[in-house]
Structure 1
């Protein structure tokens, strides 16, 4: 794999976006979503009950085509009766895309810092809390425990965890697969999760979660570190992720640096709401 020092800041932004895009597309396809891939836009819609995963992941539009593309995405959300989202990264165009999404009824849900780290320069002083054991998810029974743990507070709770778990069940547990999942047990009890997605030549970290009663013990850092070490053993040299505000200081301690912001815009079905906002 390409060493970290060969990546410019610009190319790191590109692979952060690319890994995230491939991750979303892969999960959405497993859910049976409608996969549109055109020169000016790409989306996966209809395969998930979650706005985050019915999403537009790439757009290179113009002032003249932007409104039509936004309306088309809303029409597909409506056709499948699902909420949806646009993941607006640094290379999406035009620059006022976010403003037009809001004008069409989307809500700006905040930004996800896009971060990257040299896997050969991870902070090796991250300690594993006493009593914590981190295991690879290798079969259906392990995945069931992983899913139940994620459901204890991540994102949209059981709805999100059950859908993600079902998609991971479909993807399987192959050693050479794109996905690898990790479960943290603290004094024998499952308390933490994360997933590794190998795409776009880099290692993406997703679904990092520690149950509320086990937080502030270093468990989140430890399970993320373990997944990144696994990626390094597999020959990957760059780790990437989109950070929550809670996770940001944890990832900084591991060695991650912020390179971009990915803005989240979500659309929810509304009765009698306008399809097309006035310009």
Structure 2
């Protein structure tokens, strides 16, 4: 896999030329691509040292507008974005940086798609509102924080565009112990893997790996060429062993409207 080529494709297809989610829209203003919808924020920017502060001020102005007020807003910054001090400029403008994650990508054709689950664990495809409820309950148990915002976002997504998401749960008996989803990016060669959280007492048994294999199978059936993950440090070593390559680092810069 030519990593520079794939990163260029990702920047162009998923970020710069992004297609809005159902019920949302994409604004392109002053070198900034902003998505407005269930997720609101900056997907891509083509800025230089002279224009960066003005672009940031423009986003702050939009966030203070009648449409922007009250929204959760994220400027999704990548390490290769320019200017090099864009993160520092965002911080000075009042944005709060969250933990960075590694942008990792693999070719679907190259991934091991054999399903191996621990004894007594099965994978179940879930859909609709019931699927969202199960997935977000597992998310809360796995990550130890509220999934209220994610629940609202996913409920809207399955109502407006059910074909854009695939959800899967790992269950031990009647107990859901892990859950994940795959987001389909229409008009691109990419799909995104999200979630993959496992409740503490079931970790280290290969469930995360099985969820990757299941979604890779689904991606292959859908004709997706690349799978993308924003990986936490706990996930990165597993993904590297499975064949994912690190392309960049992404840091969310957050601000409340």
| Aligned counterparts of 1:19 and 1:186: Cα–Cα separation in 2 | 38
| Aligned counterparts of 2:120 and 2:14: Cα–Cα separation in 1 | 33
Confirm or deny that 1:266 pairs with 2:257.
Answer: no
Residues 119-268 of structure 1: matches in 2 within 5 Å? 119-123=108-112, 127-154=116-143, 156-173=145-162, 177-199=163-185, 200-268=188-256
The alignment partner of 1:11 has SS state of helix
Confirm or deny that 1:9 pairs with 2:3.
Answer: yes
Match of 2:35 in 1: 44
| Aligned counterparts of 1:183 and 1:206: Cα–Cα separation in 2 | 13
CA gap of 1:258–1:207, structure 2 versus 1, over 3 A, is same
More divergent stretch after superposition (114-123 vs 76-85): 76-85
Deviation at 1:231, TM superposition (A): 0.7
1:89 to 64, 78, 87: 78
Match of 1:68 in 2: 54
Contact 1:192 1:219 in 2 (8 A): yes
Deviation at 1:94, TM superposition (A): 1.9
Contact 1:152 1:158 in 2 (8 A): no
Match of 1:275 in 2: none
Deviation at 1:89, TM superposition (A): 2.1
The alignment partner of 2:181 has SS state of strand
Deviation at 1:17, TM superposition (A): 4.0
| Aligned counterparts of 1:142 and 1:108: Cα–Cα separation in 2 | 31
Deviation at 1:125, TM superposition (A): 6.9
Deviation at 1:113, TM superposition (A): 0.7
Deviation at 1:91, TM superposition (A): 5.0
Confirm or deny that 1:109 pairs with 2:98.
Answer: yes
Gaps of 5+ in 1: 270-279
Deviation at 1:20, TM superposition (A): 5.4
Deviation at 1:60, TM superposition (A): 0.8
Instruction: Give TM-score scaled by structure 1 length.
Output: 0.78
Count residues in correspondence. Answer: 252
Deviation at 1:114, TM superposition (A): 0.9
More divergent stretch after superposition (215-224 vs 138-147): 138-147
Summarize deviations over 1:63-113 as a string: whole Å, max 9, x none. Answer: 232112112222333331234221112553222211211221222323211
Match of 1:274 in 2: none
| Aligned counterparts of 1:228 and 1:139: Cα–Cα separation in 2 | 21
Gaps of 5+ in 2: none
Deviation at 1:42, TM superposition (A): 1.0
Instruction: Give TM-score scaled by structure 2 length.
Output: 0.84
CA gap of 1:41–1:118, structure 2 versus 1, over 3 A, is same
| Aligned counterparts of 1:147 and 1:25: Cα–Cα separation in 2 | 25
